[in-house]
Amino acid sequence: MKKLLTLLLIISVSIGFSQNKIILVIDAGHGGTDPGNLRSDTGLKQEKDLNLSMALQFGEYIETYLGHQVETIYTRKKDTFIELNDRIKIANDIKANYFISIHCNSSTKPEVFGTETHIHNLNTKKSSELANMVESQFKNRAGRNSRGVKLKTDRRFNLQVLKDSKMPAILVETGFMTNKQEEKYLNSEKGQDLIASAIFRSFRNFAKKNHNISMRTPEKMDTIAETKPVWKIQIMASTGPVGLSNPDFTSLNKTIEEVKIENPTTPFNYKYYVGIYKEKKDAKQGLKEVRQSAFGDAFLVKFD
Protein backbone atom coordinates (compact mmCIF):
# COMPACT_ATOMS: atom_id res chain seq x y z
CA MET A 1 0.00 0.00 0.00
CA LYS A 2 2.82 2.42 0.91
CA LYS A 3 4.56 1.70 -2.39
CA LEU A 4 1.32 2.34 -4.30
CA LEU A 5 0.74 5.64 -2.50
CA THR A 6 4.28 6.74 -3.33
CA LEU A 7 3.74 5.91 -6.99
CA LEU A 8 0.41 7.74 -7.09
CA LEU A 9 1.95 10.77 -5.41
CA ILE A 10 4.72 10.98 -7.99
CA ILE A 11 2.22 10.67 -10.82
CA SER A 12 -0.23 13.17 -9.34
CA VAL A 13 2.48 15.80 -8.88
CA SER A 14 3.33 15.41 -12.54
CA ILE A 15 -0.17 15.89 -13.94
CA GLY A 16 0.15 19.64 -13.99
CA PHE A 17 3.42 19.68 -15.92
CA SER A 18 3.53 21.82 -19.02
CA GLN A 19 3.74 19.61 -22.08
CA ASN A 20 5.89 22.32 -23.66
CA LYS A 21 8.68 21.24 -21.34
CA ILE A 22 10.90 18.20 -21.60
CA ILE A 23 10.01 15.66 -18.91
CA LEU A 24 13.05 13.74 -17.70
CA VAL A 25 12.82 10.82 -15.27
CA ILE A 26 16.01 10.14 -13.30
CA ASP A 27 16.23 6.68 -11.77
CA ALA A 28 18.69 5.90 -8.98
CA GLY A 29 19.15 2.14 -9.24
CA HIS A 30 18.34 -0.22 -6.35
CA GLY A 31 17.44 1.16 -2.91
CA GLY A 32 15.95 0.11 0.43
CA THR A 33 16.19 -3.65 0.92
CA ASP A 34 17.99 -3.98 -2.43
CA PRO A 35 21.57 -2.72 -1.91
CA GLY A 36 22.81 -3.56 -5.40
CA ASN A 37 26.53 -4.29 -5.52
CA LEU A 38 28.06 -4.54 -2.07
CA ARG A 39 30.87 -2.35 -0.79
CA SER A 40 34.28 -3.90 -0.20
CA ASP A 41 34.89 -2.02 3.05
CA THR A 42 32.71 -0.65 5.85
CA GLY A 43 34.08 2.85 5.20
CA LEU A 44 32.59 2.85 1.70
CA LYS A 45 29.02 3.02 0.39
CA GLN A 46 26.74 0.36 -1.05
CA GLU A 47 25.77 0.73 -4.69
CA LYS A 48 22.24 1.95 -3.84
CA ASP A 49 23.73 4.93 -1.95
CA LEU A 50 26.24 5.80 -4.68
CA ASN A 51 23.51 5.65 -7.31
CA LEU A 52 21.28 7.98 -5.31
CA SER A 53 24.04 10.48 -4.64
CA MET A 54 25.01 10.74 -8.32
CA ALA A 55 21.38 10.83 -9.47
CA LEU A 56 20.59 13.73 -7.14
CA GLN A 57 23.69 15.64 -8.24
CA PHE A 58 22.80 15.10 -11.90
CA GLY A 59 19.27 16.29 -11.19
CA GLU A 60 20.56 19.35 -9.37
CA TYR A 61 22.52 20.36 -12.47
CA ILE A 62 19.40 19.92 -14.60
CA GLU A 63 17.23 21.93 -12.23
CA THR A 64 19.80 24.71 -11.89
CA TYR A 65 20.71 25.20 -15.54
CA LEU A 66 17.81 23.79 -17.53
CA GLY A 67 14.94 23.98 -15.04
CA HIS A 68 13.00 26.51 -17.05
CA GLN A 69 12.81 24.01 -19.91
CA VAL A 70 13.05 20.59 -18.24
CA GLU A 71 10.82 19.04 -15.57
CA THR A 72 12.74 16.51 -13.48
CA ILE A 73 11.10 13.49 -11.83
CA TYR A 74 12.96 11.05 -9.58
CA THR A 75 11.89 7.45 -9.12
CA ARG A 76 13.33 7.83 -5.63
CA LYS A 77 14.99 10.59 -3.63
CA LYS A 78 15.55 8.52 -0.49
CA ASP A 79 16.75 5.05 0.44
CA THR A 80 13.52 3.34 -0.57
CA PHE A 81 12.79 0.17 -2.51
CA ILE A 82 10.97 0.60 -5.84
CA GLU A 83 10.07 -2.39 -8.00
CA LEU A 84 11.63 -2.46 -11.47
CA ASN A 85 8.26 -2.41 -13.21
CA ASP A 86 7.17 0.57 -11.08
CA ARG A 87 10.26 2.56 -12.05
CA ILE A 88 9.51 2.50 -15.75
CA LYS A 89 5.73 2.70 -15.09
CA ILE A 90 6.31 6.11 -13.50
CA ALA A 91 7.94 7.32 -16.72
CA ASN A 92 5.42 5.66 -19.04
CA ASP A 93 2.36 6.89 -17.12
CA ILE A 94 3.42 10.54 -17.14
CA LYS A 95 4.50 10.27 -20.80
CA ALA A 96 8.06 11.31 -19.98
CA ASN A 97 10.31 12.28 -22.85
CA TYR A 98 13.43 10.58 -21.49
CA PHE A 99 14.46 8.05 -18.84
CA ILE A 100 17.99 7.87 -17.41
CA SER A 101 18.92 5.18 -14.89
CA ILE A 102 22.17 5.44 -12.90
CA HIS A 103 24.05 2.38 -11.59
CA CYS A 104 27.47 1.04 -10.59
CA ASN A 105 28.89 -2.07 -12.24
CA SER A 106 30.61 -5.25 -11.09
CA SER A 107 32.75 -8.00 -12.59
CA THR A 108 34.26 -11.32 -11.57
CA LYS A 109 37.56 -9.85 -12.73
CA PRO A 110 38.83 -7.16 -10.32
CA GLU A 111 41.08 -5.60 -12.96
CA VAL A 112 38.07 -4.55 -15.09
CA PHE A 113 37.17 -0.86 -14.83
CA GLY A 114 35.44 1.89 -16.79
CA THR A 115 32.05 3.22 -17.82
CA GLU A 116 29.31 1.69 -19.93
CA THR A 117 25.99 3.10 -21.14
CA HIS A 118 23.28 0.59 -21.99
CA ILE A 119 20.43 0.82 -24.48
CA HIS A 120 17.89 -1.79 -25.56
CA ASN A 121 18.97 -2.20 -29.19
CA LEU A 122 20.10 -0.23 -32.23
CA ASN A 123 16.50 0.46 -33.26
CA THR A 124 16.21 2.86 -30.34
CA LYS A 125 17.97 5.62 -32.27
CA LYS A 126 17.53 8.50 -29.81
CA SER A 127 18.65 6.27 -26.94
CA SER A 128 21.71 5.35 -28.97
CA GLU A 129 22.46 9.00 -29.73
CA LEU A 130 22.20 10.02 -26.08
CA ALA A 131 24.19 6.99 -24.88
CA ASN A 132 27.04 7.77 -27.28
CA MET A 133 27.09 11.37 -26.04
CA VAL A 134 27.39 10.14 -22.46
CA GLU A 135 30.30 7.85 -23.25
CA SER A 136 31.99 10.62 -25.26
CA GLN A 137 31.76 12.96 -22.27
CA PHE A 138 33.14 10.29 -19.95
CA LYS A 139 36.08 9.62 -22.26
CA ASN A 140 36.93 13.05 -23.63
CA ARG A 141 35.94 15.42 -20.84
CA ALA A 142 35.95 13.44 -17.59
CA GLY A 143 39.02 11.37 -18.44
CA ARG A 144 37.31 8.03 -17.80
CA ASN A 145 37.93 4.68 -19.43
CA SER A 146 34.89 4.29 -21.69
CA ARG A 147 33.87 0.71 -22.46
CA GLY A 148 31.31 2.05 -24.90
CA VAL A 149 27.60 1.70 -25.57
CA LYS A 150 26.18 -1.74 -24.82
CA LEU A 151 23.16 -3.50 -26.37
CA LYS A 152 21.04 -6.39 -25.14
CA THR A 153 23.12 -8.60 -27.45
CA ASP A 154 26.26 -7.55 -25.55
CA ARG A 155 24.60 -8.27 -22.20
CA ARG A 156 22.85 -11.41 -23.44
CA PHE A 157 19.81 -10.41 -21.39
CA ASN A 158 17.21 -7.65 -21.33
CA LEU A 159 17.14 -4.77 -18.87
CA GLN A 160 13.49 -4.28 -17.96
CA VAL A 161 13.62 -0.50 -17.60
CA LEU A 162 15.01 -0.29 -21.15
CA LYS A 163 12.89 -3.03 -22.74
CA ASP A 164 9.58 -1.68 -21.38
CA SER A 165 10.23 2.04 -21.82
CA LYS A 166 7.95 3.99 -24.17
CA MET A 167 10.52 6.75 -24.54
CA PRO A 168 14.27 6.96 -25.24
CA ALA A 169 15.96 5.35 -22.23
CA ILE A 170 19.53 4.67 -21.16
CA LEU A 171 21.13 2.95 -18.19
CA VAL A 172 24.51 4.40 -17.18
CA GLU A 173 27.04 2.14 -15.46
CA THR A 174 29.31 4.72 -13.84
CA GLY A 175 32.15 2.37 -12.88
CA PHE A 176 33.08 -1.00 -11.36
CA MET A 177 32.80 -1.38 -7.61
CA THR A 178 34.78 -4.62 -7.92
CA ASN A 179 37.84 -2.61 -8.95
CA LYS A 180 39.43 -1.20 -5.78
CA GLN A 181 40.68 2.02 -7.35
CA GLU A 182 37.44 2.72 -9.19
CA GLU A 183 35.35 1.97 -6.10
CA LYS A 184 37.27 4.66 -4.21
CA TYR A 185 36.73 7.05 -7.13
CA LEU A 186 32.99 6.36 -7.09
CA ASN A 187 32.93 7.09 -3.36
CA SER A 188 34.82 10.37 -3.67
CA GLU A 189 33.12 13.76 -3.92
CA LYS A 190 35.33 14.61 -6.89
CA GLY A 191 34.44 11.41 -8.72
CA GLN A 192 30.72 11.80 -8.18
CA ASP A 193 30.80 15.42 -9.29
CA LEU A 194 32.69 14.57 -12.48
CA ILE A 195 30.29 11.74 -13.28
CA ALA A 196 27.17 13.82 -12.62
CA SER A 197 28.48 16.78 -14.63
CA ALA A 198 29.44 14.52 -17.55
CA ILE A 199 25.93 13.03 -17.70
CA PHE A 200 24.48 16.54 -17.43
CA ARG A 201 26.57 17.92 -20.30
CA SER A 202 25.53 14.95 -22.43
CA PHE A 203 21.84 15.54 -21.79
CA ARG A 204 22.23 19.30 -22.24
CA ASN A 205 23.93 18.84 -25.63
CA PHE A 206 21.39 16.21 -26.68
CA ALA A 207 18.45 18.42 -25.68
CA LYS A 208 19.97 21.43 -27.39
CA LYS A 209 20.29 19.46 -30.62
CA ASN A 210 16.88 17.79 -30.47
CA HIS A 211 14.77 20.42 -28.69
CA ASN A 212 16.69 23.64 -29.32
CA ILE A 213 16.96 24.41 -25.60
CA SER A 214 19.40 26.95 -24.19
CA MET A 215 21.48 26.68 -21.05
CA ARG A 216 21.17 29.28 -18.36
CA THR A 217 24.43 31.13 -17.91
CA PRO A 218 25.24 32.59 -14.49
CA GLU A 219 24.50 36.07 -15.86
CA LYS A 220 20.91 34.99 -16.58
CA MET A 221 20.30 32.46 -13.81
CA ASP A 222 17.74 33.07 -11.12
CA THR A 223 20.11 31.37 -8.68
CA ILE A 224 18.45 29.31 -6.00
CA ALA A 225 15.32 31.46 -6.27
CA GLU A 226 16.61 34.05 -3.83
CA THR A 227 16.97 37.83 -3.85
CA LYS A 228 20.47 37.96 -2.40
CA PRO A 229 23.45 37.92 -4.81
CA VAL A 230 25.84 34.99 -4.96
CA TRP A 231 29.57 34.86 -5.55
CA LYS A 232 31.63 32.44 -7.61
CA ILE A 233 35.38 32.10 -8.04
CA GLN A 234 36.55 32.56 -11.62
CA ILE A 235 39.70 30.53 -12.16
CA MET A 236 40.19 30.81 -15.90
CA ALA A 237 38.99 32.33 -19.18
CA SER A 238 39.98 30.80 -22.50
CA THR A 239 39.38 31.11 -26.23
CA GLY A 240 38.28 27.48 -26.44
CA PRO A 241 37.09 24.65 -24.19
CA VAL A 242 39.55 23.21 -21.67
CA GLY A 243 39.14 19.55 -20.77
CA LEU A 244 37.78 19.16 -17.26
CA SER A 245 40.26 16.36 -16.67
CA ASN A 246 43.04 18.96 -16.89
CA PRO A 247 45.43 18.20 -13.97
CA ASP A 248 45.20 21.79 -12.67
CA PHE A 249 41.42 21.44 -12.51
CA THR A 250 41.44 18.02 -10.87
CA SER A 251 44.02 19.15 -8.29
CA LEU A 252 41.39 21.53 -6.87
CA ASN A 253 39.16 18.59 -5.93
CA LYS A 254 36.15 20.82 -6.64
CA THR A 255 33.37 20.85 -9.21
CA ILE A 256 34.44 22.94 -12.20
CA GLU A 257 31.68 24.94 -13.91
CA GLU A 258 32.28 25.63 -17.60
CA VAL A 259 30.31 28.47 -19.18
CA LYS A 260 30.31 29.23 -22.88
CA ILE A 261 29.69 32.92 -23.51
CA GLU A 262 27.40 33.63 -26.43
CA ASN A 263 28.40 36.67 -28.53
CA PRO A 264 31.42 37.49 -26.34
CA THR A 265 32.84 41.00 -26.29
CA THR A 266 36.36 39.63 -25.83
CA PRO A 267 38.23 36.70 -27.46
CA PHE A 268 37.67 34.66 -24.28
CA ASN A 269 34.39 32.87 -24.87
CA TYR A 270 34.81 30.17 -22.20
CA LYS A 271 34.91 30.87 -18.48
CA TYR A 272 35.56 28.49 -15.63
CA TYR A 273 34.26 28.86 -12.08
CA VAL A 274 34.30 26.95 -8.81
CA GLY A 275 31.98 27.36 -5.86
CA ILE A 276 28.74 29.22 -5.31
CA TYR A 277 28.52 31.26 -2.12
CA LYS A 278 25.61 33.09 -0.53
CA GLU A 279 27.90 35.03 1.82
CA LYS A 280 30.85 37.09 0.61
CA LYS A 281 32.96 36.18 3.65
CA ASP A 282 32.63 32.49 2.73
CA ALA A 283 33.53 33.33 -0.87
CA LYS A 284 36.66 35.15 0.29
CA GLN A 285 37.73 32.13 2.32
CA GLY A 286 37.15 29.89 -0.72
CA LEU A 287 39.15 32.29 -2.88
CA LYS A 288 42.03 32.20 -0.42
CA GLU A 289 42.19 28.41 -0.71
CA VAL A 290 41.93 28.42 -4.51
CA ARG A 291 44.76 30.97 -4.84
CA GLN A 292 47.08 28.52 -3.10
CA SER A 293 46.68 26.22 -6.11
CA ALA A 294 47.73 26.71 -9.73
CA PHE A 295 45.13 29.47 -9.99
CA GLY A 296 46.91 32.20 -8.05
CA ASP A 297 45.16 34.92 -10.06
CA ALA A 298 41.62 33.67 -9.40
CA PHE A 299 39.08 36.30 -8.41
CA LEU A 300 35.50 36.66 -7.17
CA VAL A 301 32.58 37.37 -9.47
CA LYS A 302 29.27 38.62 -8.08
CA PHE A 303 26.00 37.50 -9.70
CA ASP A 304 22.92 39.51 -8.73
263 or 93, which is more confident? 93
pLDDT grade for 216, boundaries at 50, 70 and 90: low
The whole-number average pLDDT for the span 125-134 is: 96
Domain 18-211, CATH: 3.40.630.40
Task: Assess whether the region 18-211 and the region 223-303 belong to the same CATH fold.
Answer: no
The whole-number average pLDDT for the span 36-56 is: 96
The whole-number average pLDDT for the span 119-125 is: 90
pLDDT at residue 18 above 60? no
Choose among 43, 178, 41, 18: nearest CA to 95: 18
Q: Are 233 and 275 in contact (CB under 8 A)?
A: yes
pLDDT at residue 105 above 70? yes
Spell 131-150 as b/e; 16+ CB within 10 A means b: bbbbbbbbbebbbbebbebb
pLDDT at residue 225 above 70? no
Percent of the chain at pLDDT exceeding 70: 89
pLDDT grade for 303, boundaries at 50, 70 and 90: confident
Percent of the chain at pLDDT exceeding 90: 56
pLDDT at residue 215 above 70? no
Q: Distance (Å, rounded) from C-alpha 39 to C-alpha 174?
A: 15
C-alpha of 108 from chain center: 27
User: What's the pLDDT at 5?
Assistant: 40
pLDDT at residue 1 above 50? no
241-251: per-residue pLDDT in tens?
A: 888 778 888 88
Question: Contacts by 39-46 with C-beta closer than 8 Å and gap 24+?
Answer: 39/177, 39/183, 40/177, 40/178, 40/180, 40/183, 44/183, 44/184, 44/187, 45/187
pLDDT at residue 237 above 90? no
Tell the CATH topology of 223-303.
Alpha-Beta Plaits (3.30.70)
Mean of all residue pLDDT scores within the chain: 86
pLDDT at residue 66 above 70? yes
18 or 193, which is more confident? 193
Q: Which amino acid is at 293?
A: S
Q: Are 116 and 131 in contact (CB under 8 A)?
A: no
The residue ranges of every structural domain in the chain are 18-211, 223-303
